[in-house]
Structure 1
Amino acid sequence: MSTTIPKETLTFFKKLTKNNDRDWFNEHKPEFKAIEAKVKSAYNHLGQLMNTHDQIEKIKIFRIYRDVRFSKNKLPYKTHFGGSFTRKKPELRGGYYLHIQPNNESFIATGFWEPNKEDLFRIRKEFEMDDTEMRDILKNKTFSETWGGFVGDELKTAPKGFDKEHSAIDLIRRKQFIFTKKYTDKEVLDTDFLKEVDKSFKIIRPYFDYMSDVLTTNLNGESLL
């Protein structure tokens, strides 16, 4: 099993960026498939590392083919690898993502990309009642140095039914609850890169534990499972 991201991954995507058409890709498809196999192996290795401190139910490597039907960008191929790591449902919430792209565009992401309407309301009500636990997680030195603060979409004002003057309105108006961390090409190709990613994913755990507790209970703290 591959324990590193192969150097040719970044080289191939740099070439594909300059030749993003079907003829070129079909000519170089055997090269891509060999790289893809190594990268999938690396993602699976990362999943094994993560399973020592979490329960990963599914690893999904996204296809290179772009869906151009509703996009102005008609280029047929992605110039990156992306893969998600799904936690055991329904008791464990949140997800992980690893993105490998040349020119220092690689990153990892964690959190909640598209919470459904019920989950989003439940999270907002929790912040409305008491945001101290979330603030403590965000203020933790190791956590903040690794992940910084929330990124993602948010409303310009308060959601319907919430007070725009509430002290936790900065949290309540969020639509996504995501953290990201960027990596240089040099860092991606380091032999300890996947270990470092795993370490960063492990540091997110207090946040996932908190959100999992919120999303599996009602406002009285009674289990919904």
Structure 2
Amino acid sequence: MTSYFSDASFRFLRGLARHNEKAWFEAHRADYEAHVRQPFLRLITDLQPALAAVSPYFRADPRTVGGSLFRIHRDARFSSDKSPYKSWQGARLFHERRREVPAPSFYIHLQPGESFVGAGLWHPEPDTQRKVRQFILDNPSTWKRVAHDPKLRRRFNLDDSEVLSRAPRGFPADFEFIDDLKHRNWVFWRPLDDALMTGPRLRKTLEADLAALGPFVDYLCAALDLEF
């Protein structure tokens, strides 16, 4: 089995977090390429067959421009934090129609002590939120089977970082899954420890995670009239 990341990957990211400036990054660009970017692109390439088995409409795309891997550069135009670089590296395994309509995605995050894998809708627009809420309201039994599956809940956490304090307007407060409708994001995720990220079991573990998250992503796709 192949290992992708190493202690050197985390050493670079820790160093970048301490020295988040262009001069330091340029002096260590070769480390970034060798230990973070290129290994991540190989991982993305190797995950595509397993992802296609989950859904033929999702892509693990290793292209360096327009592909799955996010840029390490931050967009700081509208942020008070003007740090030029992210102190992590992330990749989105996306729906082929993502540029046409809002779509859920799978996500892999590499960061010392904070790596994780997840899937769902993150920061959807209000219209997309309403569509998902209405779909859950109209299809509660399938939602229960998919999003409240004990096996899924034992392995993954439902993100609760942004939750409304009361029922969203227009939805019944006594609905069985009203707490789920209060969510602004619908994302299941789980942490991945550093030893797993640097070890030989990473790809097989992620392949199992993608398969386990598939039914949840399928439900979100149905809510948004997307193929799965």
> What TM-score does the superposition give when structure 1 sets the normalisation length?
0.84
Instruction: Point out the more displaced range, 45-54 or 60-69.
Output: 45-54
Structure 1 Cα separation of the partners of residues 217 and 101 of structure 2: 11
> Once the 2 structures are TM-superposed, how far is the Cα of residue 152 of structure 1 from its aligned partner?
4.1
Residues 92, 212 of structure 1: 8 Å contact kept:
no
Q: Which amino acid aligns with 2:76?
A: V
Identity within the alignment, %: 21
Residues 6, 38 of structure 1: 8 Å contact kept:
no
Structure 2 Cα separation of the partners of residues 178 and 151 of structure 1: 9
Structure 2 Cα separation of the partners of residues 178 and 158 of structure 1: 19
Structure 2 Cα separation of the partners of residues 75 and 146 of structure 1: 34
Q: Which amino acid aligns with 2:77?
A: R
Partner of residue 170, structure 2: 161
> Once the 2 structures are TM-superposed, how far is the Cα of residue 112 of structure 1 from its aligned partner?
0.9
List 4+ stretches of structure 1 deviating above 6 A.
none
Q: How does 1:180-199 map to 2 (within 5 A)?
A: 180-199=189-208
> Once the 2 structures are TM-superposed, how far is the Cα of residue 21 of structure 1 from its aligned partner?
1.8
1:214 and 2:215 are equivalent in the alignment: no
1:111 and 2:128 are equivalent in the alignment: no
Partner of residue 87, structure 1: 95
Q: Secondary structure at the match of 1:10?
A: helix
Q: Which blocks of at least 5 consecutive residues in structure 2 are unaligned?
A: 62-66
Q: Which amino acid aligns with 1:88?
A: E
Q: Which amino acid aligns with 2:104?
A: G
Q: Which amino acid aligns with 1:65?
A: H
Q: Which blocks of at least 5 consecutive residues in structure 1 are unaligned?
A: 218-222
Structure 2 Cα separation of the partners of residues 87 and 197 of structure 1: 18
Partner of residue 10, structure 1: 10
Structure 1 Cα separation of the partners of residues 216 and 18 of structure 2: 40
> Once the 2 structures are TM-superposed, how far is the Cα of residue 195 of structure 1 from its aligned partner?
1.3
Residues 115, 192 of structure 2: 8 Å contact kept:
yes
Partner of residue 41, structure 1: 42
> What TM-score does the superposition give when structure 2 sets the normalisation length?
0.83
| Residues matched between the structures, number | 216
> Once the 2 structures are TM-superposed, how far is the Cα of residue 93 of structure 1 from its aligned partner?
4.7
Partner of residue 220, structure 1: none
Partner of residue 71, structure 1: 79
Identify the match of residue 111 of structure 2 among 101, 104, 129. Answer: 101
Give the 3 Å change call, closer, same or farther, for CA 193–92 of structure 1 in structure 2. Answer: farther
Residues 113, 177 of structure 1: 8 Å contact kept:
yes
Q: Secondary structure at the match of 1:166?
A: coil
Q: Secondary structure at the match of 2:144?
A: helix
Alignment RMSD (CA, Å): 2.5
Structure 2 Cα separation of the partners of residues 141 and 24 of structure 1: 46
Give the 3 Å change call, closer, same or farther, for CA 76–150 of structure 1 in structure 2. Answer: closer
User: Which protein is bigger by CA-based radius of gyration?
Assistant: 1
Give the 3 Å change call, closer, same or farther, for CA 115–73 of structure 1 in structure 2. Answer: closer
> Once the 2 structures are TM-superposed, how far is the Cα of residue 67 of structure 1 from its aligned partner?
2.0
Cα deviations by residue, 1:6-63 (Å, 9 ceiling, x for unpaired): 4321111122222222222221222222332222122222233322332223442111
Give the 3 Å change call, closer, same or farther, for CA 143–105 of structure 1 in structure 2. Answer: same
